[in-house]
Chains A and B, each alone.
Chain A
């Protein structure tokens, strides 16, 4: 069963990609790009999800996908026009489909009512007269060539064995009308071609599918396809991954040979292709017999195929058979093909099935030179850890060599320099492996915008930019929440209602722009709306009313804008579902700062606001300032440091019995001796003897940290303290320095807060009780 679970996991991964494709395709259609390829891609995405879901017996998902697919098929064949309204419906349907996938995955529930009404809506959109049951979909195309149905039952079955209306899988392909057909055929030998297709297993490995090829051929003219399954060995000798079947297609077309060859462009080299003009030149016995038209018995090819399939009969009847038969086939499937499961038995008969549910060649199969490797992320994490060790070790070596007084021009020192260079390059390359485009987060956002806009009665269009900006996986995982929050905020608070917008002479549809870019070694995320901008008077009023600031405070516009980040600030006048539950931008700010990031807002009345979020590119390393405090080495995150300076005596002013402040250009900042705050010493030396680092805490408050000396700026590898011990107040994490010793990374906010509380009482040295 574990194997099945593993396949299921892969299936859900695929689903995510497919859902993204689906949404992307629909959005492209919304932008007026509804050419056949896009519609086909959208259809395939839903179809693949359905196929896979059926394999795992995910009934509700299959049912919904089925209805969805039916409509898409109708759109695809131009039976239902893709009007803008319809695309909106399809987009909403894709959201419901995504819900179904999540629900099948055990992550949340589907609102049955929503799903049912959506399904009804989809059905209503589908003209019931025009589109027959979708189970027939692949067949419909070749409707005028009934032989195909018999010839390629495996494929069609593989595709649709799961459909309610096709579940029976009662294998009656022998009812071939070949005899008469063949006779007719022989008579009318105008522009007739005989195409013999013998796929190699590579064809399926690259997620191509014979059924699609046949369908393409059918576009050129009426076809008759015959399956020669005689090469299929008995079950015990069957290699699930090998290709055994050969199709012979009789094609009537006015097109020339090149047109036929074009159909096979994508499988070039992956199948033996013979295209001959005229009838039955095939050396194939079965075909000869078939086309001779006189054979009273059914086509031998089909008979041969039958027993093999029969051997499997019990399994395919149910949608999700015991995985026994299924598992090996899928396991053998080379690509992360998710969907093929249920029709596995069929797959054995015609190994097309694993490929059946996969996306088609144009999208999925990378060129021969750019194959993609899927690697367990844990292996990469391990590699990154190891490279971290290497960096530390290399620094250690360099330090030792320095201690021995070896000349910098010596071979040893020069070798070490090279080592350092190499180490750095390895580190960069390894980090690049784990870097991912922010797309994975961004692609969830269009739906969010739709939903929030619906809920708030506003019209919003999301424009995304820089989806391919890469950032470390550790950061990606933490991006979704802040972005979600900022987008909600932009729509709920930023954009006006359509009426207000019209009155202001704006397009009733507001535009929210989400962009990602790299800037000076950090990733910057911008959320921009073209709404009304921040109402500074109101923000100020609310902050005063809530007691967050004093009413006579003089603030610049920028400072007022940033009041919205204060804890307990929420500007929504009415509490909505979307925002205004008291968890506001302060939460965003805090979570961003916990990652070593910063967030700021700029706003222009009547023109909109922009949130700018900047984050380090990775959480594995950190840029820090290495300082000395009371004989201990500490690292202060560079992101917190505003500036560093050597204070002059006249800039330090005592305040109260023991405190003092530092005058920095007209403002006074509290001086905090780090050594004293962390209990490294009892008495702080004069601040003029040390170095002052002006830092900014998460609430925007500034403090002047006093250290004894600065060693310089360095990139350090972040190590967890909690893994073997626990959180320590005032310490964010640890790192290992060049001398092999552990240095602590300062938690600047905690240090500021510790200081506010005053030093811990000496009578209580153990904060942790024995029990």
Chain B
């Protein structure tokens, strides 16, 4: 499923879209490693509220981030349909907690619009652009900005 050729001449990209609250977001499919059902995470002390904790992903310690809380919306209450999307950002692998995965989109760049200049700074920071498809509005997440800077706590 990762055979989508993102560099073909007509610039078609594939995205995975998912629901966070009532809104739809998406990330580039090439960054997605896997999608897993919710399992309880071990809380991390001294961490921001959007860090749900860490889980064991086949022996690696995987941090789980509540995407809704990260963007500044109320925290997600995990239920049976909640999933986390395991994505690769920089050299790190993180799980994004979302309400549900919707589908896979094939888009071309001309379907992508810049983020409207709205007041919310979080949105301007984390949303790369907005895709209009079949009357839906889907915001593309800028993955490399999601994780906090490593140095922030180094001291």
Give chain A's interface residues, CB within 8 Å of chain B. 385, 388-389, 392, 632-633, 678-680, 719-731, 734, 736, 740-744, 760, 765-771
- Please tell me which one of the listed residues B48, B56, B58, B125 contacts residue A767 in the complex, with CB atoms under 8 A apart: B48
Residues of chain A within 8 A of B47, CB atoms compared: 728, 767-768
Task: State the CA gap A719–B57 with chains docked (Å).
Answer: 12
Give chain B's interface residues, CB within 8 Å of chain A. 40-49, 51, 53-56, 58-63, 92-94, 122, 125, 147-150, 152-154
Q: Who on chain A is nearest to B41 by CB?
A: A742
Beyond A731-B44, A770-B125, 14 additional contacts (C-beta under 8 Å) are A389-B59, A633-B42, A721-B61, A724-B60, A726-B148, A726-B150, A727-B153, A728-B45, A728-B153, A736-B61, A743-B42, A767-B153, A769-B152, A770-B148
Residues of chain B within 8 A of A632, CB atoms compared: 42-43
**Docked-complex contact A766 and B48, CB < 8 angstroms:** yes
Residues of chain A within 8 A of B48, CB atoms compared: 765-768
**Docked-complex contact A744 and B42, CB < 8 angstroms:** yes
Please indicate which of the listed interface residues A392, A633, A741, A770 has the most CB atoms of chain B within 10 Å of its own CB. Answer: A770
29 residue pairs from A and B, CB less than 8 Å apart? A632-B42, A633-B42, A680-B45, A719-B61, A722-B150, A723-B61, A725-B92, A725-B147, A726-B150, A726-B154, A728-B46, A729-B45, A729-B46, A730-B45, A734-B42, A734-B54, A734-B61, A736-B56, A736-B59, A736-B61, A741-B40, A741-B56, A744-B42, A765-B48, A765-B49, A766-B48, A766-B49, A768-B152, A770-B148
B93 to chain A: closest CB distance in Å? 5
Residues of chain A within 8 A of B59, CB atoms compared: 385, 388-389, 392, 719, 736
**Docked-complex contact A770 and B63, CB < 8 angstroms:** no
Task: State the CA gap A201–B83 with chains docked (Å).
Answer: 63
Task: State the CA gap A723–B93 with chains docked (Å).
Answer: 8
**Docked-complex contact B125 and A729, CB < 8 angstroms:** no
Q: Who on chain B is nearest to A725 by CB?
A: B63
Q: Is the interface of A mostly helix, strand, loop or mixed?
A: loop
**Docked-complex contact B125 and A771, CB < 8 angstroms:** yes
Residues of chain B within 8 A of A724, CB atoms compared: 60-63, 92-94
B85 to chain A: closest CB distance in Å? 14
**Docked-complex contact A726 and B152, CB < 8 angstroms:** yes
B56 to chain A: closest CB distance in Å? 5
B68 to chain A: closest CB distance in Å? 14
**Docked-complex contact B92 and A760, CB < 8 angstroms:** no
Task: State the CA gap A721–B45 with chains docked (Å).
Answer: 12
Please indicate which of the listed interface residues B43, B45, B92 has the most CB atoms of chain A within 10 Å of its own CB. Answer: B45
**Docked-complex contact B42 and A742, CB < 8 angstroms:** yes
A754 to chain B: closest CB distance in Å? 8
Please indicate which of the listed interface residues A725, A734, A744, A765 has the most CB atoms of chain B within 10 Å of its own CB. Answer: A725
Q: Who on chain A is nearest to B95 by CB?
A: A724
Task: State the CA gap A724–B41 with chains docked (Å).
Answer: 15
Task: State the CA gap A632–B148 with chains docked (Å).
Answer: 24
Please indicate which of the listed interface residues B40, B60, B152 has the most CB atoms of chain A within 10 Å of its own CB. Answer: B60
Which 5 A-B pairs give the minimum distances between C-beta atoms?
Answer: A678-B45, A766-B48, A725-B63, A768-B148, A742-B42
Residues of chain A within 8 A of B62, CB atoms compared: 724
Task: State the CA gap A766–B51 with chains docked (Å).
Answer: 10
